Structure 1
Amino acid sequence: MSEPATGPPAAKPAKPAELTVLDKYLVAGIENQATTIYMFPGACITYRVGNKLLKVPNTTLNPGQTMAIALEILPNYVVDQPTAEAKKMFLDRVKSLDFSYSVQGLARFRVNLFRQRGSLAFAMRVIPHDIPSLSSYQLPDDFLQALKGLRGGLWVVHGKGRGGKSAFLASIVEHLNATQNRLVTVLEPTIQFSHRNNLCLVTQREIGSDMNSIEQGIDEALRQDQDILFVDELNSAESFDKVLEAVVKGMTTFVAMGTPDVEKTIRQLLGFKPQNRQLDLVNDLMTHLRALISTELTIDPAGRRTVTVQYHPANLVNSVLLSKRTELEQKSSQKSMLHEFDSSSSVDQSWFDSE
């Protein structure tokens, strides 16, 4: 793999000579304002800049090169022994994997490694160094007031993929860190934004390197008597059960979900439970849900990215939940009536046999 055609990026803390060839391409992508960098076998290294894909000339990769990149960036924790041989054996059988990668002092990336046509490929999303301030989202005063008095409850941040959910959650962590004296735990598939301890004591844990699963992280947060919990990417019934357990036990909990609107978010939450337990879940949500907060990323023709946030407090969400409760109660009543009808329509067969 040759060096970037654009040459090394403008130096920040590190010197170009200290960077590997791979790192030079990654940093060059950032210098070109890329938000995602793609490395596929049979294709040039490609930067996503706004709505455009920019291909780096003369960088067509082959399967051997993508394997070499994987060996270079694969974290040690995924193998028992951090040797090249052990990593190669792991990569020969892996189908997909999410992890983070850093260019020391310059950039961090959220990596999705996957297979296509039997070979390894990568999508590396750039994680910005700077966390947006909460004030930059132009949120209503009642949201900021609600953050001042956090005492338990579930807060759901939802939106489409690449919609700014993780950055918004990080902004809330930073706001709390600057204004409140709390114990905070952040659980993520891959750590994206780094938080330093300020007024809060912030624990950040990543699946694989720090814990085996989100469920384990929640269990341990409960044992540690944490005050506030952040869970990025709530996407399984098992994780939701643990989240609900934490909320019922009084822990303020923020979660991110990849659902586009309020209706689909409520539907997804209910879908985490079997139908015969959804009515109980609606009642739990009406008690504990504090707000749904939607995020949406827009990109203007010049490639500028803006995240729009909408705040839906509990009194608005509860109207949707009330409708769902009525719907579930009607279904339950209909099933009960059918069961009673089936019972009453059963006839003693001996009656027909008698003369």
Structure 2
Amino acid sequence: MSLPTPSMPTAPPSADAGAPLNFVNVLHTMLGVSDKVSDLIFSPGRPPQIELLGKLQPVQVTGLDKLTPAHTAAIAKILLSNQQNAVESLSQHGSADVSFSVPGFSRFRVNIFMQRGTHAIVMRVIPSRPPQWSDFNLPEALQQIADLKTGLVLVTGPTGSGKSSTLAAIIDLINETKHYHIITIEDPIEFLHQHKNSTIHQRELHTDTPDFARALRAALRQAPKVILVGEMRDRETIEIALEAAETGHLVLSTLHTIDASKTVDRIIGVFPKNEEPAIRARLANVFRFIVSQRLLPRADGRGRVAAIEILKATSRTRQYVEQGESEGKS
């Protein structure tokens, strides 16, 4: 959601100050610490915190020496404003994902969750423009993804490993070099891509579509060349992604796995055991790249660098995927 004006969102009065706190001012203070802040964390009993180069550190905000449950509940209310699906998700399931923006300042991917009966909030900072290929020192082999016509490309890694940024850079490269129709399905939308040589349509869960599987099936009738699925979360989504890759589309997605072999195991594992041979054969036929990455601290302490493992489809790697552990080659 977008804030109508920076002055509207306010948290309740603090114990130290009689006036309500302006939430946008809080965001300005926290992001003002460094341009390398990746996350903002609001937790009862702690001051507002930022994650900077992989480490949490408190930020001094006037009137917020220590957050109370009332503070985090009020911040959650601001973030959830007019998003009924997210409100229901928080009530029924204990967590909700939303996007949040302050026009002219910054955008965030937000997760609000309940813990010990109180609200806690993590806000991932999204750069004002989508990552470009030139922004990262990515392996040259990954440039080949932009030239693929069909197949499945997976970017995997733990939370906060840069998967979304890598995929966004690949989408931007395709956008600049190809004249394609691209559809993204995200929860929520992170990077806002502009039309370049390609035309990009971005669909957000709960706003534009109820779930990944339904949006992905609909995409098959929308004539895209490239489909980005934010995450392959369940059997139905994986099934349709395989179908899309088999029917002439390039499908890009992510999984929370640590390496290529675990990625294959995760995909196979969502299907019944009796379907394993058929799914292995289908996956071996459609996968083009499995890119596993994580962020490691630089030796000089100046930020982090991506460590990347690439499994490219060759006759040998396809054989490994298809035969799996039966041949000791998972």
Shorter-chain TM-score bucket reads 0.7 to 0.9
Distance in 2 (CA, whole Å) between partners of 1:90 and 1:235 is: 17
Look up the equivalent residue of 1:31 and give its one-letter code.
G
Tell which structure's C-alpha radius of gyration is larger.
1
Residues 48 and 58 in structure 2, CA contact (< 8 A), matched pair in contact too: yes
- Using the TM superposition, give the Cα deviation of residue 234 of structure 1 relative to its aligned residue in structure 2, in angstroms: 1.4
| Residue identity in the other structure for 1:160 | P
The runs of at least 4 aligned residues of structure 1 exceeding 6 Å deviation read 15-19
User: What is the aligned length?
Assistant: 308
Indicate the residue corresponding to 1:249 in structure 2.
247
1:321 aligns with 2:321: yes
2:78 alignment counterpart = 72
Letter in 2 for 1:40: S
Unpaired runs of 5+ residues, structure 1, are 1-14, 81-86, 329-355
Contact 2:289–2:312 (8 Å) recurs in 1: yes
**Structure 1: distance between partners of 2:109 and 2:244:** 28
1:62 counterpart residue number: 68
Q: Does 2:41 match 1:38? A: yes
- TM-superposition CA deviations, 1:173-225 (whole Å, max 9, x none): 11111110000011111111110011111011111111100011101111111
Contact 2:146 2:173 in 1 (8 A): no
Change (3 A) 1:319 1:139: farther
The aligned residue for residue 206 of structure 1 is 204
Matched with 2:122 is 123
**Partner in structure 1 of residue 100 of structure 2:** 101
Shift of 1:136: 4.4
**1:197 equivalent in structure 2:** 195
Secondary structure of 1:131's partner?
coil
Q: 1:146 Cα shift?
A: 4.6
Cα deviation digits, residues 225-270 of structure 1 (max 9, x gap): 1111011121211211111121122211011111011111111111
Query: Of residues 257, 264, 284 in structure 2, which corresponds to 1:286?
Result: 284
Distance 1:92 1:244, change over 3 A: closer
Structure 2, unaligned stretches of length 5 or more? 11-21
8 Å Cα contact 1:279/1:325 also seen in 2: no
Counterpart of 2:233 in structure 1 is 235
Instruction: State the superposition RMSD in angstroms.
Output: 2.6
Q: TM-score, normalised by structure 1?
A: 0.79
Partner of 1:23: 24
Judged with a 3 Å threshold, the aligned counterparts in structure 2 of structure 1 residues 299 and 112 are, in CA distance, closer, same or farther, namely same
What is the DSSP-based 3-state SS (H/G/I as helix, E as strand, rest coil) of the residue aligned with 2:301? coil
Q: Secondary structure at the match of 2:284?
A: helix
- Verify the 8 A CA contact 2:151 2:288 in the aligned structure 1: yes
Choose from 51, 56, 60 the match for 1:53. Answer: 56
Give the fraction of aligned pairs with identical amino acids, expressed as a percent: 29
Of 257, 260, 272, which residue of structure 2 is paired with 1:259?
A: 257
**Residues 174 and 198 of structure 2 are in contact (CA less than 8 Å); yes or no, is this contact kept in structure 1?**
yes
Other structure's SS at 1:223 match: coil
